[in-house]
Amino acid sequence: MKDLLPCRIWILVSAWATLVGWSLGLSGNISRAGYAGTLLPLVLLLAFLWHKNCPDIPRGSVTRVITRFRSIRYFKRSWRGISHASFWLPVLFVFVALLTFVGGALSEPNNYDALSYRLPRLLRWIEDGRWSWIDTSNPRQNYSAPGFEWQMLPLAIFAKTDRLFFLINWISFLLLPSLVFRTFRLAGLPTQTCWWWMWLLPLGYGYVLQAGSVGNDSCAVVYALASVCFVFSANRGLRFHDFGWSILSVALLTGTKGSNLPLVLPWFVAMLLRARLWLPQFSKLIPWAVVGLAVSFIPIAVINHLYAGKWNGDPYNASNMQLTVPAAGILGNSLMMGYACLQPPLNPCPELVNLTVNNFIRPDWGTWLHVNFPRFTLKFGELPMEESAGLGLGVTACLVLWILWSKRIQAPRHLLKSPSWFLLGFAGFISLVFFMAKMGSESTGRLLLPYYPFLLMIPLGVFHASRTFSFIQKMCLLLCSSFVLFGLILSPARPLLPWSVITAELFSFGPLQERTARLNRVIKTYATRSVGLRSMIPLNLEKQNLRIGLINRGDDPDGPLWWPWGLRHVRSFSPDNAIQSLAAQSLDLLLARESDWLSLQPHLPADWQVVFTSRLTLKASEGDETWVTCAHGKLAESP
């Protein structure tokens, strides 16, 4: 129980944030006072949890409390084995964790999805003092699961900054090794296999690149693993409440992202395997189930049905993400998943690689795929990026080497002895097939981050680790897992190197000038994304209380426009209904692309004038666009 204490604390804090967020949001009490009133119950629950899990720790014994964590004890015992290759794998994880913290702490949040819909709706709820269905051109601000936003909200209210949001993902990343080990071990996988993969799996590109980010994919892996881990750690005695913790975990898993709904199946299979323990005492789980429903996907599904007419909030499939031809979804998602798993750490010629791979697809198949899977694409850039990264070549190479070097078990006899890992892996595979048949996103590799642990169970269960891994074999696994350092250190999203100096040197080398120019454009885009449209506010108006209108084409990042928080009130309109929407709003400024402004200007009062023009790059793939800032009345006349 002590070993799962950090996970229990995180599940409790996550459930508190989500439950309190929905409660205050629906009752109209989102405020600092509202949250302050719920802090005392949280502190009491944490104190009770600590007392139950660590009753033998003397008060004031800080050293003994710290040394209880397995990671510190491990390094203390293993320091004498510093010459062994296996020692350096945990060291690599710690080094990666430190780098992700530094990157997250030094860089402003620049995740595009966060800036386009998660942060804007969070700030709109704070402005309104309640949850509200927002009249916006970006429907994701309404129908997306809000679990991650509810966890950000207390940080936003008390700290009044977005610089701490990355800690949600970073803490989740730190919990991965212990959860992977315990889940795999309780499922029946060998101890040595669990030890290796507790360090290898978290070093997948997607997990590492989101550890310092404000994306909401990798944090759900903790809930996915905990939902199964707690089921297998429960018993009829003192640990019966672990069934309750598993209910909270799977609820938080679905409440974080709707694409995680199929992963309820592995949890359900685990509960069936342990049904003889919890069915006689089912009534004890009812309070856990009630709280679980409140923090799950259920509330937003009900709200989507009430406001949009369908549980997913997109009744007309405007996002083109709901597939109607399962075969196209399974084929397209399989190709994109495989492509993401083979992404190299550094690709100097992405256009050539992408073109070559796409040419392998028969033209008639490609046409059929694009018709039935509109967002299908096989593409990656020079470096793995958090918006699309999956496992990556490093972890995939480790898995291939593992299979080649390991001993295959006698499947029938072993399955009868310990079937849990096989059933969980099979359930994970069924969940994957369901996801692929219905989900039509271009970011398959990233969305599947919570699925990969379950997909690994069958190959790791069938192929057991050899007890005689040589030094060379261990070094090969260490080398492959370290591929992630390229993407982490060179990432333009959170640069850990002086890119201006490096690109200046590269540009002086003739053959690399074109590639360096593109690299400069990508770096500049990420460096300025956290400011983005905020740079369109005239300097003399920066500290004024303003109502700003944005002509938004669907996913423009209006999050930066809200800064400084409390002085900005942003309203987003689509070009099609901008005239009607503007007539009902009292705006001080209007931001739009120049082409949208030219089509809108004849329908606006004559006192609206362009006061500022600039070229911005919101997406590196779309290049520069001309944006204008318009004002009317006295604001249009001010210098």
74-115, pLDDT tens digit by residue? Answer: 555 555 556 566 678 899 999 999 999 999 999 889 899 999
DSSP alpha helix (H) spans, 79-202: 88-106, 112-113, 119-128, 140-143, 147-159, 166-186, 191-200
**Total residue count of the chain as it appears in this document:** 639
pLDDT tens for 327-371 read: 999 999 999 999 999 999 988 888 888 888 888 888 888 899 999
Does residue 629 carry a pLDDT above 50?
A: yes
pLDDT tens for 272-303 read: 999 999 999 999 999 999 999 999 999 999 99
The rounded distance, in Å, linking the Cα atoms of 4 and 47 is: 15
Q: Tell me if 118 sits within 8 A of 148, measured CB to CB.
A: yes
The rounded distance, in Å, linking the Cα atoms of 49 and 244 is: 14
Dihedral angle, C-alpha 596, 599, 604, 608, nearest 10 °: 60
The DSSP line for 426-438 is HHHHHHHHHHHHH
The rounded distance, in Å, linking the Cα atoms of 160 and 331 is: 45
Give the chain's end-to-end CA distance (angstroms, integer).
65
> What tokens appear for 325 in the block?
């031809």
Residue 620 DSSP code: T
SS3 label, residue 316: coil
pLDDT tens for 233-244 read: 988 777 899 999
Query: Where does the pLDDT of residue 259 fall: very low under 50, low under 70, confident under 90, or very high at 90 and above?
Result: very high
pLDDT tens for 494-526 read: 888 776 666 655 555 555 566 667 777 777 788
The rounded distance, in Å, linking the Cα atoms of 251 and 23 is: 16
The rounded distance, in Å, linking the Cα atoms of 474 and 508 is: 40
| Of 478, 481, 597, 516, nearest in space to 85 by CA | 478
pTM: 0.91
Mean pLDDT of the chain: 86
Domains of the chain, earliest start first: 5-297 (no CATH), 500-525 (no CATH), 532-637 (3.40.190.10)
The rounded distance, in Å, linking the Cα atoms of 257 and 11 is: 16
Least confident of 167-171, 437-441, 489-493: 489-493
The predicted pLDDT at position 599 comes to 87
The rounded distance, in Å, linking the Cα atoms of 352 and 354 is: 6
Evaluate the CA torsion angle 439, 445, 449, 454 in order and state its sign: positive
For residue 177, whether the previous peptide bond is cis, meaning omega lies within 30 degrees of 0, is no
Residue type at 234 in one-letter notation: A
pLDDT tens for 539-553 read: 888 778 888 989 988
Average pLDDT score over residue span 306-322: 92
Q: What percent of the chain has pLDDT over 90?
A: 54
Q: How far is the CA of 304 from the CAs of 59, 313, 431, in angstroms?
A: 49, 5, 23
The rounded distance, in Å, linking the Cα atoms of 240 and 219 is: 26
Does residue 229 carry a pLDDT above 90?
A: yes
Average pLDDT score over residue span 296-311: 95
Query: Where does the pLDDT of residue 64 fall: very low under 50, low under 70, confident under 90, or very high at 90 and above?
Result: very low
Query: Where does the pLDDT of residue 51 fall: very low under 50, low under 70, confident under 90, or very high at 90 and above?
Result: confident
Residues 6+ apart with CB under 8 A from 109: 115, 119, 162, 163, 165, 166, 213, 214, 530
Cα–Cα–Cα angle for 38, 42, 45, rounded to 5 degrees: 145
